[in-house]
Amino acid sequence: MYQALYRKYRPKSFEDVVGQKVIKQTLTNSIINDKISHAYLFTGPRGTGKTSIAKILAKIVNCESLDNITPCNECVSCTQINNKQNTDIIEIDAASNNGVDEIRELRDKVSLVPSFGKYKVYIIDEVHMLTTAAFNALLKTLEEPPKHIIFILATTEPHKIPTTILSRCQRFDFKKISVTDIKTRLNYICKKENINIEEEAIELIGKLSDGGMRDSVSLLDQLTAYTTSTITINDVNDVYGTITQKEISDLLNLIFDNKLSEIFDLITKYDEDGKNLTKIIETIIEFLKNTLIYCNSSSYFDSEDLKQLYSNICNLITEEQIYKSIEILLDAIKSSKQTNNVKLIFELSIIKIIELKKEKIIVQNQINNKQKELPIFEEKKKIVTETKVEKKETNEKIKENIENLKQIRINNTLSKFNKQDFVTFKKELDNIKELLMDPDYSSIVSLILDGDLKAKGSLNLLFMYKNKNLEECFNLSLIEIENIFKKVFNQNLKPIAVLEEEWESIKMEFNKHMKSKTGAYEYKEETMSLKEIYDKKEEVSISTTNEIEEIFEDMIVYN
């Protein structure tokens, strides 16, 4: 009966194990120095040597004629292990024996002494599959086993193992095997089995196995059945369901040239040929990653053919678009695990990547249009700047006149201040809320209501604001404010606004006058009308109203 290559070439000693140098060295020193632990935990990806090293360790510790750390393969223990007849090495598959009853049975048998060797070794594979009750049953035995017992726990998911178990084991983390080490081992097997294979094909097998020695040997075994002649890189792609680097480059060229119908025909062909679309997506991601590396460091690659392929893609899109394309494809892989229709996911991801290319064209057109409009923009900017200078000079004159008016109106408000009149009017002030729903008055009414009426003297009103901008807007809008008061109260009221700190000074000065009864305020006539102060009423009205709306924006609330 034919024996699979991965079984035939399973390591029989530490020297046969590919990679894992640190682990092999640590275990070797432990054996030489007679410091063997009672419990080990082997973790790491599949096919990296966990079970193989566990079996080798079990064989070494029981060998009667050990040569340094190499089993003799002649003593009773070694012979029985080679023939799979040794009762001192017990392998347990925790995936199918994960209950508390199985572990209790194991716990009851650990007290039995070994039949031939020095140690009884329990190798529990996929130990993370044990139930919580099973772990609890194992805990005490694992902590204090008999002297002739060694536990070797193996798992690909150590995060699922309770910390109480982890803390009682020596942990060894197995790493993925390098492509170089896999190639060396595959060449050795091919030489032993008289398998003809191209070096590029071995390289690709090493990459596709993703650090798993067993996966690479299994793929080699499958390839020997697929072809009776020399194994080529195309054979590897056919069996594994992937495509060549050149085909990936051609596909990306179609994508970035926006040839959607040709792309979909190609994906349909891949699907009909039995290609693994998920693997193709992963290969495209790898290709785009290498393209990014090439864009930043072309000397990283030795192959001139690959350099040319990466260079073509670099000239088609930006690095930012490559990053976004990789993100889209990574999302596609994640989605493909949740559906049977990987072809649809692949096609949708292609459409998203094409949209990135379109965005680049749109942005470039916008930049070109901006460059064309720049001279016109500069001319407009010059006119606007000159207008702003003129307007600034006008506003400075207006503010100076308002400041004079402000002092007069403050004086006149306090000279005829009447507390009863002030209290009554303050209650009536809410009547202006009726105009909040009118778009012609809403912003000015909101401005008035945001102020705090502090004094009233005959027809004069004094409002106080905490915000400088609001105070200035109020005083720049006196024409509109007086019109609103005329409309609501049918009186020619004369309001003015001050800042909070100004009001405190005004109030102290007023109280001082009232106590001394000297230098009483005298009513003064206003020397300039509002029309004269604002010069051009319409322009000022528009500008101040816009300024108010910019300050309030969407904060105006209509009751």
Do 72 and 78 contact (CB within 8 A), yes or no?
A: yes
Chunked into runs of 10 residues, the chain (559 residues) has average pLDDT values of 83 86 90 88 89 90 82 83 83 82 82 82 89 85 85 90 89 90 90 88 87 89 87 87 86 85 88 86 88 81 79 81 88 83 87 73 52 59 58 65 83 83 87 81 84 88 87 85 88 89 83 68 78 57 46 43
Q: Are residues 448 and 540 in the same domain?
A: yes
Q: Are residues 84 and 152 in the same domain?
A: yes
Q: What is the pLDDT of residue 559?
A: 39
CATH number at residue 348: 1.20.272.10
Q: What is the pLDDT of residue 495?
A: 92
Q: Are residues 206 and 164 in the same domain?
A: no
Q: What is the pLDDT of residue 554?
A: 45
Query: Looking at beta carbons, which pairs linking 234-240 to residues 24 or more positions away fall under 8 Å?
Result: 235/201, 236/201, 236/204, 236/205, 236/208, 237/204, 240/208, 240/276, 240/279
Classify burial at 44, counting beta carbons within 10 Å of its beta carbon; exposed 0-12, middle 13-18, buried 19 or more: buried
Q: Are residues 422 and 541 in the same domain?
A: yes
Q: What is the pLDDT of residue 113?
A: 82
Dist. CA 278–CA 343, nearest whole Å:
9
Do 251 and 347 contact (CB within 8 A), yes or no?
A: no
Q: Which domain holds residue 199?
A: 179-240
Q: Which residues contact 501 (CB under 8 A, 6 or more apart)?
A: none
Q: What is the pLDDT of residue 542?
A: 39
- Which of residues 206, 223, 240 is at a domain's end? 240
Q: Are residues 375 and 277 in the same domain?
A: yes
Query: Angle CA(256)–CA(257)–CA(263) in degrees, nearest 5?
Result: 85
Q: Based on the structure, what is the number of domains in the chain?
A: 4
Dist. CA 345–CA 348, nearest whole Å:
5
Taking the complete model, does pTM exceed 0.75, yes or no?
Answer: no
Q: Are residues 317 and 404 in the same domain?
A: yes
Dist. CA 391–CA 385, nearest whole Å:
10
Q: Are residues 448 and 482 in the same domain?
A: yes
> Quick one: CA dihedral 345, 346, 347, 349, positive or negative?
positive
Dist. CA 494–CA 496, nearest whole Å:
7
State in Å, rounded, how far the first CA of the chain is from the last one: 91
Q: Are residues 497 and 513 in the same domain?
A: yes
- Which of residues 173, 202, 226 is at a domain's end? 173
The maximal CA–CA distance of the chain, rounded, in angstroms, is 127
Residue 20, φ and ψ in degrees, nearest 5: 55, 45
CATH number at residue 199: 1.10.8.60
Classify burial at 256, counting beta carbons within 10 Å of its beta carbon; exposed 0-12, middle 13-18, buried 19 or more: buried
Q: Are residues 438 and 389 in the same domain?
A: no
Q: What is the pLDDT of residue 541?
A: 41
Q: Are residues 236 and 247 in the same domain?
A: no
CATH number at residue 95: 3.40.50.300
Q: What is the pLDDT of residue 42?
A: 92
Dist. CA 520–CA 458, nearest whole Å:
16
- Which of residues 189, 217, 240 is at a domain's end? 240
One-letter amino acid of 16: D
Q: Are residues 81 and 102 in the same domain?
A: yes
Q: Are residues 97 and 167 in the same domain?
A: yes
The enclosing H or E element of 466 equals none
Dist. CA 362–CA 370, nearest whole Å:
12
Q: What is the pLDDT of residue 40?
A: 92
Q: What is the pLDDT of residue 406?
A: 83
Q: What is the pLDDT of residue 154?
A: 92
Dist. CA 294–CA 262, nearest whole Å:
27
